Homo-oligomer: A and B are copies of this chain.
Amino acid sequence: MPATYDHPRAALTVDCAVFGLDDDGLKVLLIQRGIEPFAGRWALPGGFVHLDETLEQAALRELREETGLERVFLEQLYTFGDPGRDPRERVVTVAYYALVRLGDHTVQAATDARSVAWFATDDLPALAFDHDAILAAALNRLQAKVRYQPIGFELLPPKFSLTQLQRLYETVLERPLDKRNFRKKALALGILQELDEVEQDVAHRAARLYRFDEAAYRQKLADGFNFEL
């Protein structure tokens, strides 16, 4: 390491793969780039890291600026830095993935984004840079993580039915689950709070609603409990 840090420097960005869930399945939030390179192409929201903010703050700021999203679950994914991933010059990007409750937010294009939209993860347009690789990594991580950590709740409304929860897992894991076994296991985790409420406005028997019990989760986590589903 030189005594002074004076040398040519790569540019540093953050990019976010933001996932949401609706009746059609898993969605990812993309922006349409307003500027070169790749103007007009769809891309993950992201941008340059400022010198006075953490990487996570940069990711949250870019999300807010480009899409209007706030208060999302966010976790660092991987850092992509191959020379050539940006056609102009060396750019290293720290990728994050985020989970949001789709109903909570309306997205809104801003700054350098021409527009913003949700895309089904199994029907994506061509993406700018190496964003297809980043997105694939993010999907992998989500699938792996959802099995042993209850992060899926971040995709659901605060109150949900067991059927909704099951559909979430089926969607993310891309395979059907047995209803009775799923309910047994989900309840056995001991982190679901049964509410005295049911679904509204459905044309059949209304399902009981539950809430994710954060306190119970922290407790069990500290006790070394295993949350595999």
The reply to whether A91 and B5 contact each other, CB–CB distance below 8 Å, is: yes
Copies in the complex: 2
Q: A9-B12, A49-B10 are in contact. Are A3 and B36 (CB under 8 A)?
A: yes
Q: How many A residues have CB within 8 A of the partner chain? A: 35
Q: Which of A87-105 contact B (CB under 8 A)?
A: 88-92, 94
Q: Does A20 contact B (CB under 8 A)?
A: no
Q: A1-B35, A36-B3, A47-B1 are in contact. Are A81 and B52 (CB under 8 A)?
A: no
Question: A92 vs B93: C-alpha distance in the bound complex, in angstroms?
Answer: 11
Question: A81 vs B90: C-alpha distance in the bound complex, in angstroms?
Answer: 18
Q: Does A82 contact B (CB under 8 A)?
A: yes
Q: A9-B12, A12-B12 are in contact. Are A92 and B55 (CB under 8 A)?
A: yes
**Chain B residues in 8 Å Cβ range of A91:** 5
**Chain B residues in 8 Å Cβ range of A33:** 1
Question: A35 vs B112: C-alpha distance in the bound complex, in angstroms?
Answer: 42
Kindly supply a per-residue 1/0 record for chain A positions 154-183, scoring 1 wherever the CB is within 8 Å of any chain B CB and 0 otherwise. 000000000000000000000000000000
The reply to whether A83 and B10 contact each other, CB–CB distance below 8 Å, is: no
Q: Does A203 contact B (CB under 8 A)?
A: no
Q: Does A188 contact B (CB under 8 A)?
A: no
Smallest Cβ-Cβ distance to A4: which chain B residue: B88
The reply to whether A79 and B79 contact each other, CB–CB distance below 8 Å, is: yes
Q: Which of A66-90 contact B (CB under 8 A)?
A: 76, 78-79, 81-83, 88-90
Smallest Cβ-Cβ distance to A39: which chain B residue: B3
Q: Which of A6-39 contact B (CB under 8 A)?
A: 7-13, 33, 35-36
Smallest Cβ-Cβ distance to A11: which chain B residue: B5
The reply to whether A55 and B36 contact each other, CB–CB distance below 8 Å, is: no
**Chain B residues in 8 Å Cβ range of A123:** none
Taking Cβ atoms with an 8 Å cutoff, the residues of A that contact B are 1-3, 5, 7-13, 33, 35-36, 47-49, 51-55, 76, 78-79, 81-83, 88-92, 94, 112
